[in-house]
Amino acid sequence: MNLMYHSTRDDQNIVTASQAILQGLATDGGLYVPTGMPKITLDFDQLAKMSYQEVAYLIMQAFLPDFTKEELVACINKAYDQKFSDEKVAPLKEVGEQYYLELFHGATIAFKDMALSILPHLMTTAAEKNKVDKEIVILTATSGDTGKAAMAGFADVPKTKIIVFYPKDGVSAIQERQMVTQKGENTFVVALDGNFDDAQSKVKELFNDVSLKEELANHGYQFSSANSINIGRLVPQIVYYVYAYAQLVKDKAIKSGDQINISVPTGNFGNILAGYYAKQIGVPINRLICASNPNKVLSDFFQTGTYDRNRPFFVTSSPSMDILISSNLERLIYHLTNDNSQKTKEFMRQLIKNGSYQITPSMRTKAADFYGNFASEEETKAEIKNTFTAQNYVEDPHTAVAAAVYRKYSAKNQDHLPTVIVATASPYKFPNVVVAALQDALPLESEDDFSLVEKLHELSKVAIPSAVTELKTAPIRHDRVIKTSQMKPTVINILGLD
C-alpha cells in the first residue's frame, strides 16, 4: 500500500500526504507521521553525481507518493532556483576537522528558507489535487525569522495571500527592514504596538473564529498555516542530510557506508527530526547531536528522560532556539513508543496538564541515537572567536552552539567520526553578537546593524550577502502599524471582506 500519514494521537486518523500538507495539524491536535518509512535505494556513489534538485526529487517522491512526477519536479524547480546564492543550494564546507552544512544561502539567509521556499508550491499543488477551489490565506505572527521566510516563499505564488504580524519593538533593525521591504502583490506586513505572545494568541484566536471562517469562505478564502509542524516543511529537510552524505562521498572524505555524526542547533526539533528520518531511510548516521542554548529543555530531556518546561526562560544570542515547548518532539515520542498513539496521547496530556512527562526506560534506550547537551552564552561566544582565529571561518550564534556542543560530545565520548555541523544562519543575520565575539567585547547595543555589517565585513572579509546589501536601497512597501486589538478588523480590511 502507498505511504499515508496518520496522527500521532490517533492512528485511525489517516490522510494522504497532500491532505496532511493542507491541514498542517491533525484535527485531534496530533501531528501527522508517515504510516511507515518508505523504501528508497540510496546508492551514494550515484547520489554523489546528482544535483540538489535531483536528490530532492528522489527523497520527496517517496514521502509524498500522491504527487505526480511532473508536479513534484515543478515544485522543486520553482523553489530551488536563483533565489539561492549558491548553485549547490546547501554547500558543505570543510573547516578544520569538521564539515559545515550551510543552509543559509536562501532569500532570508537562514535555514527556514530550505523548507519555506517549497512549502507554498506543495500547498497550492495539494489544494488543486484535493479540489480545494478557495484561495489560501496564510496568517502568521512572527518574532522575526519565520514570518519573513514564509513571505519570501509565498510572495507572488498564485492563489495565495500571506499576512504577517510582527512586534514593532521586538525585532532587530535588519529584521524590520527585511519585513517592510517585502515584495509581492499578495504579501501584507503589519507592525504591532504589542508583544509577540499577544500577537501569537490573537492569531490562534482568529484561526478558530467560526464567523470569520464563514466570512472567508463566502469570499473564496480559507486560512492555512505554514508553521514547522507541517510535513510539507519536514520532508524537504530530509533532503539535505542525504545530499550532505553524498557530498562527503564525492569529496572522498568518507566511503559509502561509513558512519558520520550530525550536530544540529535545535529549537522546535524540526531540523534534527528530519535528520532522524534520514537515518531511518538508510543514511549511515551514528549519533544525532541535539544542541541547545541555555533554554536547555531538550538537553535535559536526553540526559534524564524527563521533559520539563517548568523553568525560567532566557533571552539568548541565538533567539531562534529560545523555545521551551519543542512541538516536533511529539513525533519522536511517538516513534519511541513503537508507534503507539494511545501512549503518545497520554504523554502529551501530561505535558499540557503538568508541563512535564517522563519517558520509560525502554524508550530511553531507543532514544540513544540522540545525544543532548547545551552551550552557555560564554561558550558560544568563545566558540565564534576560536573557530575564526583557528580556521578563519565565521559562525553565526546558532551554528556556534552546535559546534560547541559537538566539541563537548567528542571530548567526552572519544568519538572522532566525521561530523557534519548544521550551519543554520549567516553571521550577517546577527552582526552585533558576532562582532562582539570576534572583538571580545560586549554586544554593541548603541551601534546600528548596518554599520555592524560593515564592521563584520572588515574583520572577517566574508562577502556580504546580497540579501543584506539590497536592503539598504529597497523601497519600503509596508507601513501599517496597529494595536493588537485591531488585528481582526485589519485582516477583514486586507482581504476586502468589509
Q: Is 172 helix (H, G, I), strand (E, B) or coil?
A: coil
Whole-number minimum distance, CB 349 to ligand PLP, in Å?
23
Query: Residue 22 and residue 40: Cα distance in Å, rounded?
Result: 25
Query: Residue 69 and residue 13: Cα distance in Å, rounded?
Result: 27
Interface with ligand PLP includes 119 (CB under 6 A)? no
- The three cell numbers of residue 324 are 521551551
Which residues, numbered 298-337, are part of the site for ligand PLP (CB under 6 A)? 320-321
Which residue in 39, 88, 93, 112 is the catalytic one? 112
Nearer to ligand PLP by Cβ, of 92 and 422: the residue is 422
Whole-number minimum distance, CB 434 to ligand PLP, in Å?
13
Give the binding range for ligand PLP (CB under 6 A) out of 260-268, 303-311, 344-352, 368-376.
260-268
Contact map string, positions 200 to 229, toward ligand PLP, x by CB under 6 A: ----------------------------x-
Residues 159, 453 contacting (CB under 8 angstroms) = no
**Please, what's the b/e burial string for 469-485 (b: 16 or more CB within 10 A of its CB; e: otherwise)?**
eebeeeeeebeeebebe
Of the candidates 486, 487, 494, the one whose C-alpha atom is nearest the C-alpha of residue 203 is: 487
Interface with ligand PLP includes 110 (CB under 6 A)? yes
Which residues, numbered 336-375, are part of the site for ligand PLP (CB under 6 A)? none
DSSP state at residue 288: E
Interface with ligand PLP includes 455 (CB under 6 A)? no
Give the binding range for ligand PLP (CB under 6 A) out of 174-182, 262-270, 375-383, 486-494.
262-270
Query: Residue 490 and residue 169: Cα distance in Å, rounded?
Result: 20
Helices (H), 110-209: 112-116, 119-129, 145-154, 173-180, 196-207
Q: How far is CA 103 from the centre of its chain?
A: 10
The amino acid occupying position 301 is: F
Query: Residue 30 and residue 324: Cα distance in Å, rounded?
Result: 18
Nearer to ligand PLP by Cβ, of 57 and 111: the residue is 111
Give the binding range for ligand PLP (CB under 6 A) out of 49-57, 110-118, 203-211, 470-478.
110-118
Strand partners for 261: 419
Q: How far is CA 15 from the centre of its chain?
A: 23
Interface with ligand PLP includes 426 (CB under 6 A)? no
Give me the phi and psi of 10, to 5 degrees please: -160, 105
Which residues, numbered 380-409, are part of the site for ligand PLP (CB under 6 A)? 398
Interface with ligand PLP includes 297 (CB under 6 A)? no
Nearer to ligand PLP by Cβ, of 16 and 419: the residue is 419
Interface with ligand PLP includes 270 (CB under 6 A)? yes
The amino acid occupying position 294 is: P
Q: Is 377 helix (H, G, I), strand (E, B) or coil?
A: helix
Contact map string, positions 130 to 149, toward ligand PLP, x by CB under 6 A: ---------------x----
Whole-number minimum distance, CB 492 to ligand PLP, in Å?
31
- The three cell numbers of residue 93 are 564546507
Residues 123, 136 contacting (CB under 8 angstroms) = yes
The question of whether 112 is a catalytic residue gets the answer: yes
Nearer to ligand PLP by Cβ, of 267 and 465: the residue is 267
Please list the active-site residues: 112
Footprint on this chain of ligand PLP (rule: CB under 6 A):
110-112, 145, 228, 265-271, 320-321, 398, 424-425
